[in-house]
Chain A
């Protein structure tokens, strides 16, 4: 039995390894599907919903759905593109995302997707309460306005015992990602930098650095998001 299978995304034939997710297969075949919460190497938890595709007229998140031979996946249609754009807008209106002053500007995946999907003015009214910047730990600060609750820090930043540095607090609209106060005191430099790197937006900031690269030379200044996958 072969361990590959074929299926289609927007009519294009995709060759995938069995057990792969649609997202992984798409990436290997040069098809870009936007993601925010997904992070290579950790178990996906479809929470941003931006990677949604349509299979048999049903929405599924491509980061969590395994491939199946013969499936027909819709991804880059007008309907789904607008859906993705609306999710980007939704994230923008649910916190104060002030890009011009953000340390991550140019390296921010949310901002980069905003450009890719040509977001102008969000269709939704701004709707966030006052949020805090928590800067009590020695190495890191957490700007709650910018947090999109992707859970990447929660899944990747752990100590040797597997204890998580980051966790959720509350639920619904009051949901926050907070850092463990005790553990924040002793986090290593290396892990603190990793926390900042893994954050898709500018919610986790390594203290004392600010802007290390000038505008114009940052990641998505040079290469629009997704373009590397598409030229593969």
Chain B
């Protein structure tokens, strides 16, 4: 064992900043990270054991306790819950005899729940030993467990044929389907791979590339919408021994899966986008940060990078351009939504827990290992390739004046055609619902849990009380018909997650509670506000749902939602949005629950509270309610 650990450490130059990679190798080799291993790592990496454990205990997919031979990670995102998560969960438990969160006594089966795994269009889904199982039903869950008990290999548990496109590639071999429903300029198959790198970039100076991207008005597609050209310009001017391009493929916002599809079908565009960004900013290091949940793509993506290296599209003097040296490695995440936040992502790449950094300095000033670092989303980088190929003027013919080009929407929930829709910016909510074949719609969550819950029956956003004056969710334009709201930077900006709920759904109990649980689970815990408040607010919501709320509780939620806005990063700042946005647009649901609209706070039901004592002494509680 000592030898193996030594070999792993040497593979990474005994470098503590590569701790994530080292821990992955240990997990693969031994199934968990033992106390003995931790001691060895601590000694050689010259950090304390507590520091090694600090990183281990942060990530969902690392464990210092033995895991099972087969580990089932069942995803509990909202779309999974809409499609029978509870029944599937129960079936896994009954068939295996193990409760979730545990490993069976013989060490064969471990069951765990996990946050969104990017399969909302085909959930409930689970990851079993890095393989993805989609469209789970109780029957399928039972068959899987039976198969495991019969000693089948994980490949032999597959119940559906391989998916379409590259999902069927021998290096992927997965049942996932792409569900591309609408293509436009980005998801266009009519192009020659890597032609921009081969034929075009040498015609432009780095400054000219930046200028074209600036003129196209391309803005970050990861959610924040920062102008991409400007980011590249800043980056190109920062002094540093190295410069770094990071592609953010941590896609963790529940309800988004567009990066999954881009990486499956158009990863050449993503890597080429990184090459272009490197050329424009004279960067020499490239990293694609791939969320652990997408590990099934790792080999496949690496084969693409090998192809590029073999064809002088990566490496030294790329395509013969003197001094243009750039390579890309893939950094695997380890299960933490917060690592999608760019500075947390960088911390994670440095082997630490994914805790966002204080800004300033921004990553473009001091990022990975303190080098100037440009972080861009998968879709942003792919779009940049199309822009350089066809020019800024061409790009401007798509979209609206304030939001140019197209956006990939990940549509899921209650609709007939969940999947990826490439739409021009400016499309209305109504059009999206029509495209997706959604009927009987009650609500649409735009932008994932951190976004906005739109009430489509609403003629106007009605309940903006004085207490909410400060609350400005993405483009909350008052008194506009919800249906007509537009996906655009000036109205509803979004990373592209669209989740639809029909009229049979219990918005507060099923949706809002699920979203709050997500933030509670995924907070890094660093800020006092984000660590404590989402839980307290969820308990208050529960009190209301259980019929114990009073009017003042709604006001409390609004006031507390304001406090959390002082958190360091976007996660904390938006963690109360499920509650705030549902009070804004579904206030009647709260009021229905609040006890006869009273102000008197009765936290308990006398009858319930004394029922145990009553039954013990054999006494009946007599109701005087008339």
Q: Which residues of A contact B (CB under 8 A)?
A: 44-50, 52, 59, 61, 64-66, 83, 86-87, 90-91, 93-94, 123-125, 127, 148-149, 161-175, 178-183
Contacts and interface: CB of A to CB of B under 8 A. Distances in A.
20 contacts: A44-B358, A59-B566, A83-B566, A86-B560, A90-B532, A91-B532, A94-B528, A94-B532, A125-B540, A149-B528, A149-B531, A163-B47, A168-B353, A169-B54, A169-B57, A171-B57, A171-B353, A173-B525, A175-B524, A181-B49
B49 A173 contact: no
Contact of B54 (A83, A163, A167, A183): A167
B57 A123 contact: no
Interface in B20-74: 46-51, 53-54, 57-58
Contact of B529 (A45, A65, A90, A163): A90
A171 B525 contact: yes
Contacts of A48: 527-528
Contacts of A166: 50
B519 to A, nearest CB: 9
B556 interface: yes
B224 interface: no
B54 A168 contact: yes
Given A94-B532, A168-B353, A180-B50, A61 B358 contact: yes
B525 A165 contact: no
Nearest to A63: B358
A172 B50 contact: no
Given A127-B539, A149-B525, A163 B531 contact: no
Given A90-B529, A90-B532, A175-B531, A66 B50 contact: no
Given A163-B46, A168-B58, 18 more contacts: A47-B528, A47-B568, A48-B528, A49-B568, A93-B536, A125-B540, A127-B532, A149-B531, A167-B50, A168-B54, A168-B525, A169-B50, A169-B57, A171-B524, A173-B523, A180-B48, A180-B49, A180-B51
A172 B529 contact: no
B526 interface: yes
A178 B50 contact: yes
Sort A-B residue pairs by CB-CB distance and give the 3 closest, nearest first.
Answer: A175-B525, A167-B50, A180-B50
Given A46-B358, A149-B526, A172 B531 contact: yes
Highest count of chain A CB atoms <10 Å: which of B57, B526, B533, B566: B566
Contacts of A124: 536, 560
A124 B529 CA distance: 12
Contacts of A125: 536, 539-540
A93 B53 CA distance: 27
Nearest to A57: B470
A91 B565 CA distance: 16
A161 B44 CA distance: 12
Contacts of B47: 163-164
Contacts, number: 132
B520 interface: yes
Contacts of B360: 65-66
Nearest to A168: B54
Contacts of A179: 50
B358 A49 contact: no
A52 B539 contact: no
B563 interface: yes
Interface in B544-588: 556, 560, 563, 565-568
A183 B48 contact: yes
B565 A59 contact: yes
A168 B521 CA distance: 16
B522 interface: yes
B50 A164 contact: yes
A48 B529 CA distance: 8
Contacts of A162: 46
Contacts of B568: 46-47, 49, 61
B535 interface: yes
Contacts of B528: 47-50, 87, 90-91, 94, 148-149
A172 B57 contact: no
B112 to A, nearest CB: 15
A50 B520 CA distance: 21
B358 A45 contact: yes
A171 B358 contact: no
Nearest to B51: A167
A169 B540 CA distance: 27
Contact of B48 (A94, A163, A175): A163
Given A52-B566, A83-B566, A47 B526 contact: yes
A65 B358 CA distance: 9
A94 to B, nearest CB: 5
Contact of B53 (A46, A64, A94, A167): A167
Contacts of B49: 180-183
A173 B575 CA distance: 14
B611 to A, nearest CB: 23
Contacts of B51: 163-164, 167, 180
Contacts of B520: 172-173
A127 B529 contact: no
A164 B48 contact: yes
Nearest to B603: A125
Nearest to A159: B48
Contacts of B58: 168, 170-171
A127 B48 contact: no
Contacts of A171: 57-58, 336, 353, 523-525
Nearest to B358: A64
Nearest to A36: B528
A93 B529 CA distance: 12
A120 to B, nearest CB: 17
A88 to B, nearest CB: 9
A91 B358 CA distance: 21
A85 B532 CA distance: 15
A49 B533 CA distance: 13
Contacts of A168: 54, 57-58, 353, 525
A225 B336 CA distance: 38
B53 A169 contact: yes
B46 A172 contact: no
